[in-house]
């Protein structure tokens, strides 16, 4: 095995393109595509992801917070950017950077109108989120009259779209609930748009919604996890490929004897002679303590090496007793074969948490 030098997160843009086109293949020709690049592009590199997707003519981006949108604008991204959960304290910055807010409550709507009016805006584009069952953010159907009364009193904003969010689109045991959400949203949209000269466009589907509910594609879809290579089902995982590979290196190898212990709090005690390897990745890098004590593993020379004892801040130790390797050998945490989903499941969590938690101190390497 070739020697490896450092910990790196490799990001494959060719694979990103393939995932994008696969998801696009499920859409009608007039359905817009919004790419979700929040949380550093799901833990990868939001700027590089957005630049590449912009070159593929994606219609919209979405981020969670204003500072994420500012970063994209500073990097030269010109495609419209929706901010899904803007904080009122950042509304002025949002407008300065031509970001488009999701407004989700009477309080936030009024605050944004006030700021937009103060900044002499005219028909500034906004998006209204309606709660149809996720119960996280969103107006209720009975807020429509309130919203229209405020819209009629100002020229500072203009509603560009209305949207909602499916709660269980990946769960085929929740089809009835998802369909009830879709029906509810269709009614809300009809009631909301009935009195508008220029109706707002509609969107509701996330990645699993795109794959499982074509009747809810509407005017635009919002895809996040699918772009990064996960389809939320074994079937769809075959059609998507993870774009990121987290790799590291064996820093040192020890031979330990029976009754010797490994790591903090002596959490692992050997019952036999063992060969262990130290790897320079820890919970400060996104491999949390839940992966320790045999729950998680890494791949060395195509074999699983269980994590021994407690995960340290900057290091883990793994069992390589039956693995042929040396100091400097490559270590894989996840890639397109040994996926982040598999590693996450070993610690009873999900791929989203694992990949978005990869520390920014880890070097990113872009593969064109």
3-state secondary structure 182-245: HHHHHHHHHHHHCCCCCCCEEECCCHHHHHHCHHHCCCEEEECCCCCCCCCCHHHHCCCCCCEE
Q: Where are the beta strands (DSSP E) in the chain?
A: 8-12, 32-36, 60-63, 81-83, 100-103, 124-129, 157-163, 201-203, 220-223, 244-249, 252-256, 261-262, 268-269, 274-279, 297-300, 303-308, 316-319, 330-334, 363-367
C-alpha closest to that of 298 among 349, 335, 268, 243: 335
Let me know if 38 is a catalytic residue. Answer: yes
Query: For the chain, what is the largest distance between any 2 Cα atoms, rounded to a whole number of angstroms?
Result: 79
Among the listed residues 187, 264, 269, 326, the single catalytic one is 264
C-alpha closest to that of 319 among 271, 278, 260, 259: 278
Let me know if 104 is a catalytic residue. Answer: no
Q: 239 CB contacts (<8 Å, ≥6 apart)?
A: 22, 231
Among the listed residues 32, 38, 129, 247, the single catalytic one is 38
Phi first, then psi: give them for residue 18, nearest 5 degrees.
Answer: -60, -45
Place of tokens 């819209």: 151
Name the residues annotated as catalytic: 38, 264
């Amino acid at each position: 095995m070739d020697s490896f030098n450092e910990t790196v997160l490799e990001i494959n843009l060719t694979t990103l393109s393939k995932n994008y086109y696969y998801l696009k293949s499920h859409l009608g020709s007039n359905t817009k595509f919004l790419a979700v690049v929040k949380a550093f592009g799901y833990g990868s590199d939001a700027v590089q992801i957005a630049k590449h997707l912009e070159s593929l003519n994606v219609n919209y981006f979405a981020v969670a917070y204003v500072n994420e949108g500012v970063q994209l604008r500073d990097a030269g991204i010109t495609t419209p950017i929706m901010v899904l959960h803007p904080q009122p304290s950042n509304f002025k910055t949002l407008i300065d950077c031509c970001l488009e807010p999701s407004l989700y409550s009477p309080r936030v709507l009024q605050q944004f109108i006030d700021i937009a009016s103060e900044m002499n805006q005219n028909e500034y584009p906004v998006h209204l989120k309606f709660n149809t069952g996720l119960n996280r953010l969103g107006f209720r159907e009975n807020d429509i009259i309130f919203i229209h009364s405020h819209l009629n009193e100002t020229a500072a904003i203009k509603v560009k779209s209305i949207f909602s969010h499916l709660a269980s689109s990946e769960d085929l045991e929740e089809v009835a609930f998802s369909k009830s959400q879709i029906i509810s949203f269709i009614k809300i949209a009809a009631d909301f748009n009935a009195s508008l000269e220029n109706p707002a466009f509609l969107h509701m589907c996330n990645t699993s919604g795109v794959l499982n509910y074509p009747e809810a594609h509407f005017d635009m879809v919002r895809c996040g996890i699918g772009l990064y290579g996960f389809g939320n089902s074994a079937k769809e995982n075959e059609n998507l490929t993870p774009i990121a590979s987290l790799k590291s290196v064996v820093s040192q190898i020890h031979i330990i004897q029976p009754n010797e212990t490994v790591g903090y709090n002596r959490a692992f005690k050997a019952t036999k002679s063992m060969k262990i390897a130290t790897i320079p990745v820890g919970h400060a890098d996104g491999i949390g303590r839940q992966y320790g004590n045999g729950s998680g593993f890494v791949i060395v020379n195509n074999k699983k090496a269980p994590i021994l004892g407690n995960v340290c801040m900057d290091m883990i130790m793994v069992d390589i007793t039956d693995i042929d390797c040396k100091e400097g050998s490559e270590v894989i945490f996840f890639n397109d074969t040994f996926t982040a989903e598999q590693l996450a499941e070993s610690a009873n969590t999900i791929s989203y948490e694992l990949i978005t938690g990869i520390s920014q101190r880890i070097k990113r390497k872009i593969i064109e």
